[in-house]
Amino acid sequence: MSTTRCSQCSRVIRGAGHRTATRTLCDDCFATYQGLAAGMLASGGNVRRSVATAGWFKRLIGRRKS
Ligand SMILES: [Zn+2]
């Protein structure tokens, strides 16, 4: 049984992890990764605000689907 490590924080990932185009991420880093793409645009590149925006981004997606 192989061990998968997060490409971002190097923690061992339980389960399959989350594959992006180039990396495999743990749950926490994947959530941040998703939020960063939108958060960077919304905050003008401020990383701390980008992370905070991750939650907002998830709600936005949920609204679009419903
Ligand atoms: Zn991670």
The neighbour count for residue 6, using CB atoms within 10 Å, is 19
Distances (CA, A) of 5 to 1, 10, 20, 30, 35: 13, 5, 13, 13, 21
Along the 66 residues of the chain, how does pLDDT read in single tens digits? 678 999 999 999 988 889 888 889 998 888 888 887 766 666 665 656 555 666 766 777 777 655
Q: How far is the CA of 42 from the centre of ligand 1 (A)?
A: 23
Handedness of CA 46, 44, 31, 59 (dihedral sign): positive
Q: How far is the CA of 17 from the centre of ligand 1 (A)?
A: 9
Where does 1-66 have alpha helices with state H? Answer: 27-43, 47-65
